Structure 1
Amino acid sequence: MSRTAGARDAARGRPRRATSRAVRGARAAQYTALLGYLLFLAFPFLWLVSTAFKPPRELARAHPAWIPDAPTLENFRRAFDEQPLLPAAANSLLAAAVSAVVAIVLATPMAYVLARYRNRFSRAATGWVVISQAFPLVLVIIPLFLILKYLQLVDSLGGLILVYVVWSLPFALWMLTGYVRAVPPELEEAAAVDGAGRLRTLVSVTAPLLIPGIVATALFAFVTAWNEFFFALVLLKSPGKQTLPVVLTHFIGAEGVADLGPLAAAALLATLPGPVLFAAIQRRITGGMLAGAVKS
């Protein structure tokens, strides 16, 4: 009996050991792929940082090094002297912030309607929102330009903000619709039993639970508008109204040769707001999601 029991235990132990090895191998492969992906994403940014602090003689090397031999801030000084970076950054900040706020204000009630009233119209609207994101910019720029010309909004930040709102609204609506569907309808039914109307329910019950989603969507809309180049290039002609991505192209000469040091320094400064905002708001978004889950 003891030999038979030992044989059975050994037979049972082999699949378990094989399964544990397979699990460890799968996890190792996942971690390796994740590390490779992170390195792939970090490589351009790290090279940009290295280039921004290199003096001209190191930039002219045939085989550049990762770490500058003599780090310098000269590229940053030249960048601010050669181009109006601060006014351009102010224009980008204004356009991105206003367009993100307006898009969220418009998308939140629309997302509530699409999520709570499911019918043919809502399904068609949701499908159109998804399809609209596939339209290339070249396809929509001519109609947008003609509309803004008729409204006398060409070469103005107001016209650019209007375009950013129209362009970011489908994405904001699609994201917020998913967040609204995650809110239990029973909470709204309980509020209705207490006598709250639809507007009161949306403001007092649903909106507080949507704060993490609203913040995340607004952040994505802001970063998208901050980095946008094509619309700003076509719609803005006055030097004092141009945004930061357009001004960065001025570091490239007529023959296509870039002043690499100041360009890298200016591009580094233009890249920082996105990661800084994500790092600053990440904990609040996660904490808000957990709080919403506990409340629901």
Structure 2
Amino acid sequence: MTQTVVRPATRQLPSAKRQRRISRPLQYVALLAYIVFLGFPLLFLLVTAFKTPQELLSPNPSFLPESLNFDNFVQAIEKANLVQAAANSLFVAVATTVIVTLISLPAAYALARFRTKLRGLATGWILLSQVFPFILIIIPLFLVLKQIGLVNNLFGLVIVYAVWSLPFALWMLQGYVAGIPVELEEAGAMDGGGRLLVLRTIVLPLLAPGLVATSLFTFISAWNEFFFALVLIQDPALQTLPLTLARFVGAEGQVQLGQLAAASLLATIPSLVFFALIQRRLTSGLLNGAVKG
């Protein structure tokens, strides 16, 4: 007589489809929390810019303004000469970005592709420049720029920003260049293309994400920089946006909150526009690189 052994039923593992159903709402919740975390300061800045002084000084202020008040924007533009400051910051940021990109692009390619004795020295210089406090060189830097007539001059500020941003930009681009397979360049050379043609048609399209990230970092760093501009620029007509925004804080710590919020909101617009424009170039560069590679 045979005895039938009854085994306990094994618990079936959830299918991949069920796992996706469980994890997808959690992903959406996490994404929503991250968006709220990043967007709340901008939303608070937006609603503060439209509030009247009475609403800002109210003991029980509401989050949303009672009505849209544009007086803060008008006063910020007229009293603080915000348009001129924005033009100065835009010139400095764009000039710095162009200079840093033109210098760091060939330097990063040489650093990633050519194994020379200078490669170690260049890498050491990059790392050392990132840990060296720039406040220690501000006095000799000021004296040198004063001797050559670049104090209280936007071109002097561009030079300082370019030197300041160049090591990190070079380090970023060097990593992007190293990530491009050398075999792609060798295949282009075997097809009869010269080095410049290979760089233009193969390397540059694939390097577009790195160029975008480097340009964006350089632009935002120059746009937001305060310390060097405070030391090197004394003429009110040459002051950049960070210096102009600091004028909304009085000597005794009294803040013109509504005007400061309006001016800060206007100051973020060029960065957002620059990011929107350059992101289109990033997408086209990725597609071109995928086709040409």
Fraction of identical pairs, as percent:
53
CA contact (8 A) 2:202 2:292 kept: no
Are residues 1:184 and 2:190 paired?
A: no
State how 1:166-245 maps to structure 2 within 5 Å.
166-194=163-191, 196-245=193-242
Partner residue, 2:90: 93
State how 1:1-296 maps to structure 2 within 5 Å.
10-11=9-10, 13=12, 16-17=13-14, 31-119=28-116, 121-194=118-191, 196-296=193-293
CA distance in 2, matches of 1:139, 1:41: 34
How many angstroms does 1:165 deviate by? 0.6
Counterpart amino acid of residue 143 in structure 2: L
Moved more, 129-138 or 247-256: 129-138
How many angstroms does 1:20 deviate by? 8.1
TM-score by length of 1: 0.86
TM-score by length of 2: 0.87
Moved more, 149-158 or 195-204: 195-204
How many angstroms does 1:223 deviate by? 1.6
CA contact (8 A) 1:216 1:285 kept: no
Unaligned runs of 5+ in 2: none
Closer, same or farther: CA 237–89 of 1 in aligned 2, 3 Å: same
How many angstroms does 1:137 deviate by? 3.4
Provide, for residues 246-288 of structure 1, a one-character-per-residue CA deviation record: whole Å limited to 9, x for no partner: 0111112221101111111111100122223223332431342
Query: How many residues in Structure 1 have an aligned counterpart in Structure 2?
Result: 290
Provide, for residues 33-59 of structure 1, a one-character-per-residue CA deviation record: whole Å limited to 9, x for no partner: 443333222222111101100011101
Root-mean-square deviation over aligned CA pairs: 2.8
CA distance in 2, matches of 1:231, 1:22: 53
CA contact (8 A) 2:205 2:285 kept: no
How many angstroms does 1:73 deviate by? 0.5
Provide, for residues 102-160 of structure 1, a one-character-per-residue CA deviation record: whole Å limited to 9, x for no partner: 10000000010111124554244234323422333323323322321232211100100
Moved more, 257-266 or 207-216: 207-216
Closer, same or farther: CA 263–196 of 1 in aligned 2, 3 Å: same
CA distance in 1, matches of 2:278, 2:99: 20
How many angstroms does 1:186 deviate by? 1.9
CA contact (8 A) 2:201 2:292 kept: no
Unaligned runs of 5+ in 1: none
How many angstroms does 1:289 deviate by? 1.6
Q: Secondary structure at the match of 2:14?
A: helix
How many angstroms does 1:96 deviate by? 0.4
Moved more, 25-34 or 74-83: 25-34
Moved more, 210-219 or 61-70: 210-219
